[in-house]
Amino acid sequence: MYLDALAANSAAFHAAAERATLAAPVQACPEWTIADLIYHLGEVHHFWAEMALRRASSPDGIDEPPRPATEALMSWGRGEASRLHEVLSTTEPTTPVWTWAPQKDVAFVVRRMAQETAVHRWDAERAGGLPEPIDAELAADGIDEYLTLFLPRARKGAPSLAGSVHLHATDTPGEWLVRPGGDGEPVVSAEHAKGDAAIRGAASDLLLLLWRRAELDEVEVLGDRALAEVFVARTNNE
């Protein structure tokens, strides 16, 4: 699933970027233009391709690539996406490699790149018109990835949960319960359970909510709405 998603969303990302002007603003990143987003995704693809290719045990020594001239930016971005896909598709997923997460192998990189590329594809399409939803199965996996890996990395001063929040994807299997742990950090389990607040919607909408691309009003909220608002506030990792 991940390699196919990476290829499809990379192609759709660059097609959308080509339709939009390079100066078009990226709504999820207010200071960025489409040109900035192309460079960002290309730089991310470059970094992880190098990590996997070198079987690197540290990110040290992998320099940020120079930003191409405007007229070369699009072809450079496509080239980095193609190279990443080739490297990941020809590398054993169990190959050890440094990552910032507990899982330190190429399988983590494949999943992370599929997810990041899908969200930025949505960003590019939104800048140029109406974005297509993220594939439901991929989005459900992205929700699980976010809750497991990113929710605990909330910014300093993020509000603590005072109750449990149940997330329920309505278009594909996927349910999660987030509840406060003893140390104030959220505890996540993939299960059908009643929460003090429930957030329901298509998997794409829930994933985009977690990544601050959608608003709470765009999904269904049941129970304690104030708690749901605190939960969403906690997803701001800035």
Q: What is the CATH number of the domain that holds 201?
A: 3.30.1050.10
Q: What is the mean pLDDT of residues 189-194?
A: 92
Q: Is the pLDDT of residue 238 over 80?
A: no
Is residue 109 domain-shared with residue 224, that is, in the same domain?
no
Is residue 175 domain-shared with residue 121, that is, in the same domain?
no
Q: What is the mean pLDDT of residues 121-127?
A: 96
Is residue 21 domain-shared with residue 117, that is, in the same domain?
yes
Confidence of residue 105 (pLDDT cuts 50, 70, 90): very high
Confidence of residue 29 (pLDDT cuts 50, 70, 90): confident
Q: What is the mean pLDDT of residues 58-66?
A: 94
**Residue that terminates a domain, selected from 78, 113, 128:** 128
What is the residue-wise DSSP string for 191-234? Answer: S----SEEEEE-HHHHHHHHTTSS-GGGSEEEE-HHHHHHHHHH
Q: What is the mean pLDDT of residues 29-37?
A: 93
Q: Is residue 36 part of a domain?
A: yes
Contact between residue 28 and residue 213 where contact means Cβ atoms under 8 Å apart:
yes
Q: Is the pLDDT of residue 18 over 80?
A: yes
Is residue 27 domain-shared with residue 69, that is, in the same domain?
yes
Tokens 């990189």, residue located = 109
> What is the span of the domain harbouring residue 203?
155-234
* CA 236-213-28 angle, 5° bins: 85
Tell me the whole-structure pTM to 2 decimals.
0.94
Is residue 23 domain-shared with residue 112, that is, in the same domain?
yes
Supply the CATH number for residue 119's domain. Answer: 1.20.120
Specify the range with the lowest mean pLDDT, choosing from 28-32, 122-126, 216-220.
28-32
Is residue 114 domain-shared with residue 41, that is, in the same domain?
yes
Q: What is the mean pLDDT of residues 27-31?
A: 87
Contact between residue 37 and residue 17 where contact means Cβ atoms under 8 Å apart:
yes
From residue 213, alpha-carbon distances to 4, 25, 75, 165, 219 in Å are: 23, 14, 27, 19, 12
Confidence of residue 30 (pLDDT cuts 50, 70, 90): confident
The domain total for the chain is 2
Q: Is residue 141 part of a domain?
A: no
pLDDT for residue 97: 98
Strand partners, 105: 96
Q: Is residue 139 part of a domain?
A: no
Task: Report the percent of the chain where pLDDT is more than 90.
Answer: 84
